[in-house]
Structure 1
């Protein structure tokens, strides 16, 4: 009974190199897949909520009518501003522009009119402006 024993000599360096190159090959394939596959929608915010454009609503302060202009694309609010604010109105109502800027920053961040924080200096002014923005956004909403 003579058995012939075969001895295979493997160098540890060759095994390590092979494993490293196999891992790098897999990483390269995964990277190429992620780069060239079409992107899926990550958020449901990408649904078309608005008809793109600029929409206005009117705020009446005393005898002055101000237009609040809201610019939107299909899913986001991009700008909110007064379109006809002049110096005499700014002088008569000094808190109107800072209040608009505070509200606009919050709305840009949240993309919603829910849970806005009103300044204690001008809560009524903020409410009037918020109502005007809400009215302009109603005009912008898409009907499904």
Structure 2
């Protein structure tokens, strides 16, 4: 019998580095896979709103105003006052800036939580926020 024994010497440090780098490589590949292979079709459970434009009314002084909220299946697209006259703008000059501030925050965060109300007009901002909330209740998808 002719047997040649081969002895392989491995340093423990090299084995540990190899295992760590292999694990990191697999982790990065899994992360890339999950990032770029997301669900391409939204399911019924992902639907938050029924697409459309929903209105809610509020009163300032003697003027009745309508606030419009435009939504798609999953997001709030825009918020505006539909019948804003020059008289109302002159009487309530902070109305439009307050609405723009709230609309920007809501459209970016897609939530009514943790909003920063204007310090110049907190009551107007709260009135607008309640009106937006009412319009979004009408837009909520029924599953």
Task: Give the TM-score normalised by structure 1.
Answer: 0.70
Correspondence for 1:40: 39
Confirm whether residue 91 of structure 1 aligns to residue 105 of structure 2: no
Correspondence for 2:109: 110
* 4+ residue runs over 4 A deviation: none
Instruction: Give the SS at the match of 2:125.
Output: helix
Instruction: Give the SS at the match of 1:89.
Output: helix
CA distance in 2, matches of 1:85, 1:129: 13
CA deviations on 1:40-90 (whole Å, 9 max, x unpaired) are 26x99x810000000000010011011000000000000000000010000
Instruction: Give the SS at the match of 2:90.
Output: helix
CA distance in 1, matches of 2:107, 2:60: 25
Paired residues for 1:114-133 under 5 Å: 114-133=113-132
CA distance in 2, matches of 1:119, 1:141: 27
CA distance in 2, matches of 1:135, 1:39: 33
Correspondence for 2:142: 143
Unpaired segments of 5 or more residues in structure 1? Answer: 1-29
Unpaired segments of 5 or more residues in structure 2? Answer: 1-28
Kindly name which structure, 1 or 2, has the bigger radius of gyration based on alpha carbons. Answer: 1
* Superposition CA RMSD, Å: 2.3
CA distance in 2, matches of 1:57, 1:40: 34
The number of aligned residues is 108
Assess, with a 3 A threshold, how the Cα gap between structure 1 residues 78 and 88 changes in structure 2: closer, same or farther. same
- Report how far residue 38 of structure 1 moved: 6.6
Task: Give the TM-score normalised by structure 2.
Answer: 0.70
Correspondence for 1:13: none
